[in-house]
Structure 1
Amino acid sequence: MAENSKIEWTDHTFNPWIGCTKVSPACDGCYAENLMANRYGRVQWGAGEDRQRTGKANWRKPYAWDKAAKEAGSRPYVFCASLADVFDNEVDEMWRHDLMNLIEATPNLIWLLLTKRIGNVRKMTDPERGCRLLPRNAAIGATIANQEEYDRDRMKLWEVKETREPLFTFGSFEPLLGRIVLDKYAPDWIITGGETDQGPHKARRTDPDNFRYLRDQSAALGRAFFMKQMTRKEPIPADLLIRQWPEVA
């Protein structure tokens, strides 16, 4: 399921802007920083640094994807964003407004909005604060690397589900940095994976049994489970090669 993206759980990847600030242990080996800051020197990473909006040609691509999806009678996934965070405090609010307009204008696409700042989502989609309401074809996800982050953020994601009614919620448990105990407030889709080397940062190894623990809990809770990759993209054991997608009405 990767037509225009190398990410296994999506069809397309769209980056409305580039740049971010590290806010989680999951950020220590940031792919985006290593690529766009360290290798290409396109932006500087960190608080107070300018985010760079992508060009008009890039912003036109989702319209073509939407047209093709309508003609095919399909609903492809669009991951937004791999090189930034939609709900970053340091992004111009009008950029987010433009993005929400784009999402709403492409109803044949399912937009996957993944954030490490799940606590910002409700206020940044609140019309009473002058923000655009979350479009009906958007799903909301949170990056969760360890038990501390799950305990801190699971209810924030659940509250987004209850108040903003996204298509579904999802958790990116990647890189998985320890065993995580889920509960009834777990997201609808559990995506997990191990880390890869990024420049001077060497991948932290994940015990395969921690992936199995997530797999078994997902089954017990009725959640879709997606095993993306092992540490350093080692071969995935046969019993872990499960790639499910959530049901979408």
Structure 2
Amino acid sequence: MGEITAISWCDATFNPWIGCTKVSPACDGCYAEALMDKRYGRVQWGAPGKGNGTRVRTSPGNWSKPKAWDRKAAASGKRPFVFCSSLADVFDNQVPVEWRRDLFDLIRATPNLTWLLLTKRPQLIVRLYEEAQRLKEDGTRWTSTLPRERSAWPRNAAIGTTIEDQERAELNEPHLLYATDRLKPAFNFLSCEPLLGPLMPWTPTILARTMDLIGHADVPSIDWVITGGETDQGMHKARPSHPSWFRAIRDRCAAAGVPFHHKQNGEWIAKGWEHHGSKLHLTLAGKVINKADCDKNRDFPGMGLIEIEKVGKHRAGRLLDGVEHNARPKVVT
């Protein structure tokens, strides 16, 4: 696709702009910050107590790439998944509204691509989308009813949100489902990466909060779930994920008929897969325990204790119980 990516759940990445502000624990080890701020110095990353940072729009040449991918996709009959944005957030409210309008114009102009719009700000999806669609090329705004070609969500765009633990699931998932109900995207998805604690994407609390937002009981389903462990990024060292967290999501997806994609285990694995590296113990709740504490308290009843080793993301790999999970949702064209 021209933009080679190692991300297993997409075929290409596109970044209309670069830069973001950290908003949740999943942002602590941000790949984009490590690359674009700490390594290359192209932008300043925002963070609580440090301001909103800076945003830089990418070049016209970069913006032209998706149209070339679209032509290739039309000729091949294959519909690639394009992740937007790996170095930013589409629904970042610090970005000029003109940039977001231009992005949605590009999405509409590339109907043979399936766009994956992943955000940590799902509560802003509807408002910022509608704001962008009301902006005309001359800088004025539509004050009356929008033309349908601008008001309707692009049929080739999916929306997703990151949920790294149960707290974020109960905060973010209802807003994603509200946006799904309001905008009718191609599909929706959850990115449980980095997975930092046990979580269940389907709970009575999430259902109740969603019904409060959408105003009726016909709650949309989740169409796709991605999981993954954390990796080292610069000075930030990866936090381990318990394999039982991945298993619980995998099994629930299987029971519900939802496509499940396991991207990676992260830097850590359970002892027995490899026999070298730094060793710790991890409880099912996510508490890391060192060897000395384990020697003093050998049982830890009911804590789901496992011994883990830091072996690096390449050795840790993508297998979950010996299986590679690569499922994607079917796209209706």
Supply the AA of the counterpart residue of 1:115.
T
TM-score, normalising length: structure 1: 0.95
How far apart, in 2, do the equivalents of 1:115 and 1:3 lie?
21
CA contact (8 A) 1:142 1:172 kept: yes
Equivalent runs, 1:53-68 vs 2, <5 Å:
53-68=57-72
Residue 238 of structure 1, CA deviation = 4.1
Select which of 154, 163, 175 maps to 1:156.
Answer: 175
Indicate how the Cα distance of structure 1 residues 182 and 239 shifts in structure 2: closer, same or farther if over 3 A, else same: farther
CA distance in 1, matches of 2:60, 2:118: 22
Partner of 1:112: helix, strand, or coil?
Answer: strand
- Could you tell me whether the CA contact under 8 Å between 1:144 and 1:171 is conserved in 2? yes
Q: 1:194 aligns with which of 223, 229, 248?
A: 229
State the Cα distance separating 1:159 from its structure 2 match: 1.1
Unaligned runs of 5+ in 1: none
Deviations 1:99-144, CA, capped at 9 Å, x for gaps: 0000000000000000000000011122698265431110000011
Q: What is the RMSD computed on CA atoms of the aligned residues?
A: 1.9
2:195 is equivalent to residue 176 of structure 1: yes
Number of residues of Structure 1 aligned to a counterpart in Structure 2: 249
Which structure has the larger Rg? 2
CA distance in 2, matches of 1:202, 1:176: 14
> Which of 213, 218, 228 is matched with 2:248 structurally?
213
Measured after TM superposition, the shift of residue 240 of structure 1 is: 4.4
Hey, what does 1:29 align to over in structure 2? 29
Q: Distance in 2 between matches of 1:176 and 1:238?
A: 17
Q: 1 CA distance for matches of 2:3 and 2:88?
A: 21
Query: What amino acid maps onto 1:11 in structure 2?
Result: D
Q: Contact between 1:2 and 1:8, CA under 8 Å: does it hold in 2?
A: no
Partner of 1:165: 184
- Compute the displacement of 1:3 (Å): 7.0
- DSSP 3-state at the match of 1:125: helix
SS at match of 2:261: strand
**Residue in structure 2 matched with residue 90 of structure 1 by the alignment:** 94
* Aligned equivalent of 1:16: 16
CA distance in 2: counterparts of 1:218 and 1:3, whole angstroms: 30
Does the aligned pair in 1 maintain the 2:2–2:69 contact within 8 Å? Answer: no
Tell me how far 1:186 sits from its aligned partner.
5.8
Preserved contact between residue 174 and residue 191 of structure 1 (Cα < 8 Å): yes
Query: Which secondary structure state, in structure 1, belongs to the residue aligned with residue 23 of structure 2?
Result: coil
After superposition, the Cα gap between the structure-2 partners of 1:218 and 1:92, relative to the gap in structure 1 and judged at 3 Å, is same
* Structure 1 CA distance for aligned equivalents of residues 322 and 221 of structure 2: 22
Partner of 1:6: 6
Percentage identity across paired residues of the two chains: 53
1:125 pairs, out of 123, 129, 143, with 129
Q: Which residue of 1 aligns with 2:259?
A: 224
Distance 2:221 2:40 in 1: 37
Partner of 1:247: 330
What displacement does 1:241 show? 1.8
Q: Which runs of 5+ in 2 are unaligned?
A: 136-149, 208-219, 268-312
CA deviation vs aligned residue, 1:62-117 (integer Å, no higher than 9, x gap): 00000000000111110000000000010000000000000000000000000000
Does residue 69 (structure 1) correspond to residue 73 (structure 2)? The answer is yes
Q: How does 1:97-116 map to 2 (within 5 A)?
A: 97-116=101-120
Answer yes or no: is 1:204 the counterpart of 2:223. no
